A and B are shown apart, each in its own frame.
Chain A
Amino acid sequence: MTGEASKAQDIFQDTLREAAFLVANREPPADRHWFFREARWRCLDVVAHGVQPEHGANESTEVSPRAPEQIEQLEPEQLAIWISAAPEPQRSALALYYLDEFNYREMMSMLGLKLTDLSRAIASGRREFQAWLNTTVPAAASE
């Protein structure tokens, strides 16, 4: 979400601190989604005050059957940077979706998105990531 591990760690700790504060005030978070919702807002706030990526018209292409081979060649940090550079709400949608912990209803609830918006964000993210893969790992992309 932030593209930087140190910022993410700060947000993580701030979120836990906030949770502890709520618990101390006898208003503990109602569910685990609270942590993700709270952390997301903090991420958005941090990103809004940081260097902004240029959001241009990203290229997109259909998902390739050989994409897994391309993805295998990536470092996790590369994926993190790519996702952190995506515009909102696509960035949050992709981050939650690929955590593979939530179903679409939970994601809609956490992100405040309609199904069509969530679906569009994920689908376009897939295609744009595939286009980026094709330029980043071209050897594997050749069919």
Chain B
Amino acid sequence: MKRLSRGLRTLADCAPIANAKAPDRRMRTAVSRAKRTEDFAAQQSFDRAVAKLVQATPVSTEIQEWFANERMAEGAKRSWKKTALHPAILAIGIALVVIAVVAWITFDEQMHAFPGTATAKKLLNVAAMTRPSEFEPMETEAGTLNDLFFMKYRLEHYDVPPGFSQQRTIGVRVFDDDEAGQVAQISLAEKRMQLFLFPARRDSKSGKPEEFEGWRYVDQDRWTGVVAERNGVCFMAAVRGGEKDLAPYIKKPKE
């Protein structure tokens, strides 16, 4: 063993006695190199003889009975509860839940998306930020404003649907939006609700309005809107609150 380096000799001194596989590459290298020396052969013979003597050590019958079931000394299996509460497992679990929730939210948004979702959300922000003074005072029924929009602004089919047409208005304004186009905004007395009428999104190839059936909900920063499309014009009723605040106005809600 004198030809072995100090590190390898250190390992070879602890070499496995039986022909068991060495636990790592360093030990395998040490054993492989040591086998070329005569000292190591003597060491192995010595170790085997001692180990054999150890194996021959008599064990009392009492202790033998203890070990009748060899599995007794096996490491205790972790219960599923303990495994689940392991920090690493817990962290992975939480991460998976977060991913699942985000994926579900994204999927849900996609499911409820409709042509003009982005515009509707933008107009919900407009609803939240518009001050009462920005409206032109107008006390009338919302359903009668289509004539005003057509006569004054040449906005065709800017009709308020039946569910909202009986509502009393406080003010009206029409403005141009870069994305939405000409938008009519109506302020109602009830629930400080606001109504929007704006052009439906158009198909980039055909130029035709993209239609969709029924009412679609959209929400943004604690404001909720319900949108419907008819004759190339979208109508949105917006309120600060949830869907339950708008549901009574829609006779046949559809998702």
Contacts and interface: CB of A to CB of B under 8 A. Distances in A.
Interface of A: 5, 9, 12, 16, 23, 28-32, 34-35, 62-65, 67-68, 71-72, 74, 76-77, 79-80, 97-100, 103-105, 107, 115-116, 118-120, 122-123, 126, 129-130
A115 B10 contact: yes
Interface of B: 9-11, 13-14, 16-18, 20, 22-24, 27, 39, 41-43, 45-58, 60, 62-63, 66, 73-76
A64 B38 CA distance: 11
A98 B42 contact: no
23 contacts: A5-B60, A9-B60, A12-B63, A12-B66, A16-B66, A29-B75, A32-B74, A34-B75, A35-B73, A63-B42, A63-B43, A64-B42, A64-B46, A65-B45, A67-B42, A67-B49, A71-B53, A79-B53, A97-B17, A99-B54, A103-B27, A104-B27, A116-B10
Contacts of A12: 63, 66
Given A29-B75, A76-B56, A79-B54, A107 B14 contact: yes
A84 B192 CA distance: 91
Contact of B76 (A23, A80, A105, A129): A23
Contact of B39 (A63, A97, A99, A116): A63
A129 B50 contact: yes
Contact of B11 (A32, A119, A120): A119
B82 to A, nearest CB: 9
B43 to A, nearest CB: 6
A31 to B, nearest CB: 4
Given A30-B75, A32-B75, A98 B50 contact: yes
A79 to B, nearest CB: 5
Contacts of B54: 76, 79, 98-100
A68 B46 contact: yes
Contacts, number: 103
Given A98-B17, A100-B18, A119-B10, A74 B53 contact: yes
- Chain A CB within 10 A, most for which of B22, B46, B53, B58: B46
A98 B57 CA distance: 12
- Chain B CB within 10 A, most for which of A79, A98, A122: A98
Contacts of B42: 63-65, 67
Contacts of A28: 76
Contacts of B11: 104, 115, 119
A67 B46 contact: yes
A30 B53 contact: no
B46 A126 contact: yes
Given A98-B17, A98-B50, 19 more contacts: A32-B73, A63-B39, A71-B49, A71-B50, A71-B52, A72-B49, A74-B53, A76-B58, A97-B17, A100-B17, A100-B51, A103-B20, A104-B23, A104-B27, A115-B10, A115-B11, A119-B13, A122-B13, A129-B50
